[in-house]
Amino acid sequence: MDRRLKSVPTIEVAKIWQETSVSTVSTRESEIRSLERLYTFRRRAEVSQFLERHSFLAPLLLEAYSKFGNYFGPYPQVFLEVVRDPEVHGLVELFGYVVTKLTPEEAGKRLQRFDRDWFLHQLPQAKGLLNFDVEFL
């Protein structure tokens, strides 16, 4: 069974966050569980460890998910993956890949709008450790 939510308007994202944040489990674990309800983790342990080390990314990821529908259609599937840059030793980032059936040209335009409208304003908070891209079906 797919644990991601099929419909996640902003109010639902906030509700998910509240439900798991009041848990008796550690805050980081509950944040990660909240994100797993929205995102699909590739190499779960690696993504979870990255998020544990960089917990400041959790609120950004939560907000980002609530924005994706404005650019990629309602409730897109988004993968989170830890990516190491082979050209820059030690550079490790968390990437969110928005899955789309759009043409590469249209997907690129929408990603640029997402960046311009929201994500570029979040870069100081992301501290160079978070990025987004598209992935095609």
Give the pLDDT band of residue 90 (cuts 50, 70, 90). confident
pLDDT at 98 over 70: yes
Residue 2 lies in a domain: no
Q: Cα–Cα distance between 63 and 77 in angstroms, integer?
A: 15
What is the per-residue pLDDT for 14? Answer: 57
pLDDT band at 89 (very low <50, low <70, confident <90, very high): confident
Angle between helices 27-36 and 57-72 (to 10 degrees): 10
Domain that holds residue 130: 10-136
Residue 1, domain member (yes or no): no
Q: Is residue 60 part of a domain?
A: yes
Q: Give pLDDT tens digits for 7-24.
A: 455 556 555 555 544 443
> Which is more confidently placed, 117 or 1?
117
Would you say residue 97 lies in a domain? yes
Q: Which H/E stretch holds residue 132?
A: strand 130-136
Residue 40 lies in a domain: yes
**Residues 57 and 49 sit within 8 Å (Cβ to Cβ):** no
- Residue 101 has φ and ψ, to the nearest 5°, of -105, 0
**Going by C-beta distance under 8 Å and a sequence separation of 6 or more, which residues neighbour residue 52?**
28, 32
**Measured between alpha carbons, how far is 68 from 77 in angstroms, rounded to an integer?**
10
Mean pLDDT of the chain: 87
The verdict on residue 4 lying in a domain is: no
Q: How far apart are CA 104 and CA 68, in angstroms?
A: 17
The answer to whether residue 128 is domain-embedded is yes
Q: Into how many domains does the chain fold? A: 1
Per-residue pLDDT, 5:
43
Q: What is the per-residue pLDDT across 101-134, written as a single tens digit (0 to 9) for each?
A: 999 999 999 999 999 999 999 999 999 999 999 9
